[in-house]
Amino acid sequence: MTLFFKKTHKRRRDVFASLDLGSNKICCAIARVDERASGDGLRVVGVGHQLSQGIRNGVVTDLESLEDSILNAVHTAEQMARETIDEVYVSISAASARSHTLDVELALGNSPVDDNHIRQLLAMGRQAFVKENAQIIHVLPVTYALDNEFGIRDPRGLLGKKLIASLHIVSIANGVMQNITNCIERCHLGVAGFVVAPYAAGLSTLDDDEQALGVTVIDLGGASSTIASFLDGALVHVDSIPVGGGHITSDIARGLSTPLSQAERLKTLYGTTITSSSDERESIIVPQLGEGNITATHQVPKSLLVYIIKARAEETLDLVWKRLQHSGMDRIVGQRIVLTGGASQLPGIRELAAQKWQKQIRVGSPIGFNGGGDFVSTPSFAVCGGLLKFAMRDFLSEDHAVLAKPAPADNMVQRVVGWIRENF
């Protein structure tokens, strides 16, 4: 076990930290509020990422290995940032999460709706949600009805007698959250909050118009592909399938009889879902598996590698679409789908998805971040970046979910900077 000794100090209010617990990669990021920075006013000052060990699809499989991975990622980020962090916002895989919808109502007595009424509705939703062995991660308002007027996005300030909130509740199995919390506490860190991973990816890669008009974010991760659907500015559904980019690597290793590390290298160097007439004539050198000797090689046509990759990519996209159809999200999220995550960078995956789904597809990278180097602008940083944005919003309210709609980025920065100036 690698040991890093952490100092204790007064909590900084202008610094946020995130921890993305992926099946292939553990990523920690540290950001400062900077009123001079563009976008959301966050400047990434430290990033650390390590090979993920001890967790798969959000389930802890080896406590000590996961602890080591977290400690190494956090230490690297702290060294780069020259900061010591005490708490982190943590991603939870949608593979372990469940979506639920619930309506709650509140008598107003013909008084104007205020933040306290919204808080009461959210508290009522938490109390009304009863699932054995499940813990709530998010209680998010989707839409409101005031008396007989439906489709209200932000009811604050409006007069009425009865307010109804349609809530989206995201839950996780108790054991999953407890084991992750335990591991993070062993690293001498506190959990500032949990965020389901595809929601964080959406916060990082979507603009306001996309969230309002309807969009689905698909985070193509290592062990799973996770789904988050947005409509009218609200998260309305999360889902997942247990297939991701790591399965492509495994298929290559099996199909070409090569070690996993070499399969990953071949995928990175030559991987694509786009077939070409020259693929049959082009050969690639493949290290062979067996007898502990990987110096022996053989040649295979590139067409075989492309065939293996495309077959698994098509299966993954088909399974995602079936999940969208099962939930009904295929009919209500408009014409736009955003792919993100490490496997979204596979050449040809966007074109393949557009062909199969007949939708507008783009590959989503984090929006509105400053600093942090090239990695911060890649789809692999989507979840970690979204956690930072969630952290900033969470800081501005007693409960992030109380916000009937997200504050504009410029306004969020002004509020955070104003608070810091008043208190320090």
Per-residue CA distances from 394 to 60, 70, 319, 353 (Å): 26, 23, 34, 34
Q: Which of 198, 131, 125 is nearest to 165 (CA)?
A: 125
Q: What would the pLDDT profile of 90-135 be if each residue is shown by its tens digit?
A: 999 998 899 999 999 999 988 899 999 999 999 999 999 988 788 9
Identify the CATH number of the domain defined by range 97-174.
Answer: 3.30.1490.110
- CA–CA dist 40, 368 (Å, integer): 5
Q: Which of 85, 77, 65, 59 is nearest to 7 (CA)?
A: 85
Percent of all residues in the chain with a pLDDT value above 70, rounded to a whole number: 88
**CATH 3.10.129.10 is the classification of domain 207-365:** no
* Statement: residue 356 has pLDDT above 70: yes
Q: Which CATH number fits domain 15-95+175-205+366-423: 1.10.101.10, 3.30.420.40, 3.40.50.2020, 3.60.21.10?
A: 3.30.420.40
Chain centroid to CA 103: how far? Answer: 26
Q: Which residue ranges make up each domain of the chain?
A: 15-95+175-205+366-423, 97-174, 207-365
- CA–CA dist 283, 297 (Å, integer): 12
pTM of the predicted model as reported, rounded to 2 decimal places: 0.88
Question: In terms of DSSP bridges, do strands 149-152 and 134-146 run parallel, antiparallel, or are they unpaired?
Answer: antiparallel
Q: What would the pLDDT profile of 251-261 be if each residue is shown by its tens digit?
A: 999 999 999 99
What number of H helices and E strands is found in the chain?
12, 19
The reply to whether 207-365 shares the fold of 15-95+175-205+366-423 is yes
What is the pLDDT averaged over residues 330-353?
91
Between the CA atoms of 414, 405, 387 and 87, what dihedral angle is there, to the nearest 10 degrees? 70
Q: Are 47 and 376 in contact (CB under 8 A)?
A: yes
- CA–CA dist 310, 235 (Å, integer): 31
Q: What local confidence, expressed as pLDDT, does residue 292 receive? A: 58
Q: What local confidence, expressed as pLDDT, does residue 8 receive? A: 42
Work out the number of other CB atoms within 10 angstroms of the CB of residue 245.
28
